[in-house]
A and B are shown apart, each in its own frame.
Chain A
Amino acid sequence: MAEPSLAIHGGAGTLPLTGMDPAMADAHHTALRAALAAGWKVLSKSGSALDAVTVAVMTLEDDDLFNAARGAVFNADGKLEMDAGIMSGRDRAAGAVAGICGPRNPILAARAVMEHSETVLLAGRGAEEFLAAQDIEFQSFDYFCTERRVVALNQELARRASGAPDTRSDADRHG
C-alpha cells in the first residue's frame, strides 16, 4: 500500500510579490486549494492517480486566474492555441494535443487521445476533428476570451511595435 499524494502548479508566471495585493494572493490560494481538494477527493477514496491528475488540472483549467483553457493567453494573431499532455506511470500510456481551441478542458482532450486513438500526440485541425467525435464538451471562442488576456496581448503587441525592450514580469511573459 503506497501513501497517496498530489502536487499541483498553476504556472511560473506569477505576479511579482510587490505587484500582488492580499486579495489577489488569497484568490490564487483559494483556487489552488480547490484543485487540491478535487484531486484529493479521488485519491482519498482509493481512486487512481490518473483520475486525480485529470480532475485537478480540469479545476485549474476552469479558473481564469491561470494560463490554461479559460484563462489561456492569445498568440500574436489574437487567436487561442492550447496544448495539453497526460501520462500514466503504470503502463507509460500517454496522450497529448497541440494547437487546438474548443474543448473546455484540453486535459480531457489529451486523455481521449491516450484512451481512444492509436496515437500519442494529435495537433491542429486533425486533433479538433478527432475530438469532435469524442464525448468532450466544446466551448465557443467567447468562453475563452477573457478581458485580462486581451489587454495583455495588446500591451505586448504595442511594445513590440515600439521596439521597447522586453521588461515584462514572469506573469506577463509566461501568461
Chain B
Amino acid sequence: TVGAVARDAAGNLAAGTSTGGFTAKRPGRVGDTPIIGAGTFADNATCAVSTTGTGEIFIRFTAASEISARIRYASQTLEQAASGVIAELFSNGGDGGLIAIGRAGPPSLPFNSSGMYRGFVLSDGVFRTAIHRE
C-alpha cells in the first residue's frame, strides 16, 4: 500500500491511497484503502489521513475518520489523535501505520509495525525519509 496526504497554500487538505492488498489474499477481498473513512479521508476542518496495515481492523474501527472525530469532538491534537488510534488498533490486532496532516503544523506518521516506508516535506522544502524506527 502507498499513500499521500497534503495541505496546500490555500489551506485545502487531500488524501490518496493505493494498494495491491496482501500476498495470496482471498480473491475479491477488499481492505481499507478504498473505504472512505477507514483507509482514506480528508476534511479541511480537521485532517487528511492515509493508512496501511491490517485492512479489516482499520475498516472496523473506521480509523481515518476516528482521528478526525477525536480532533473535532475531543479537542485532541493531530499527534494525540493519530497516535492514539494506532495504539488502539494495535491492542485489537491491527498492525500497520498511517500518515495524517492537519489544518496547520507538521504531519503525523505513527506506526505499530516493525517499520513503515515514509517521508514528509514542510514549507522549508527539505525531504525527510525513514524506514524503520530511525
Instruction: Say whether A associates with B.
Output: yes
Binding site for B on A (CB under 8 A): 1-17, 20, 25, 28-29, 32-33, 35-37, 39-40, 43-44, 46-50, 52-54, 56-57, 60-61, 66-69, 71-77, 79-90, 92, 94, 96-99, 105-107, 110, 120-121, 123, 149, 152-153, 156-157, 160, 169-170, 172-175
- Contacts known (A2-B104, A37-B127); A73 close to B4, Cβ less than 8 A: no
User: For residue B21, which residues in chain A have a CB less than 8 angstroms away from its CB?
Assistant: 67, 72-73, 75, 81-83, 175
* B22 near A174: Cβ-Cβ < 8 Å: yes
Q: For chains A and B in complex, what number of residue pairs have CB atoms within 8 angstroms?
A: 338
| B: interface residue count bin | 35 or more
Q: Which of B11, B111, B114, B117 contacts A2 (CB 8 A)?
A: B11
User: For residue B19, which residues in chain A have a CB less than 8 angstroms away from its CB?
Assistant: 11, 67-68, 72, 82-84
Q: Which of B8, B23, B42, B95 contacts A152 (CB 8 A)?
A: B23
- Contacts known (A5-B106, A11-B116, A84-B18); A29 close to B131, Cβ less than 8 A: yes
Chain A, interface SS category: mixed
Q: List 29 A–B pairs whose Cβ atoms lie within 8 Å, in order of A's numbering.
A: A2-B103, A3-B7, A3-B122, A5-B120, A6-B4, A9-B50, A14-B117, A28-B117, A32-B117, A33-B119, A33-B127, A49-B48, A52-B14, A53-B48, A54-B16, A67-B2, A73-B24, A75-B24, A79-B27, A81-B20, A82-B20, A87-B42, A89-B12, A96-B40, A107-B16, A153-B23, A170-B113, A175-B1, A175-B21
Q: Bits for B1-45, please: 1 = Cβ < 8 Å to A, else 0.
A: 111111111111111111111111111111101111001111111
User: For residue A83, which residues in chain B have a CB less than 8 angstroms away from its CB?
Assistant: 18-19, 21, 30-31, 33-34
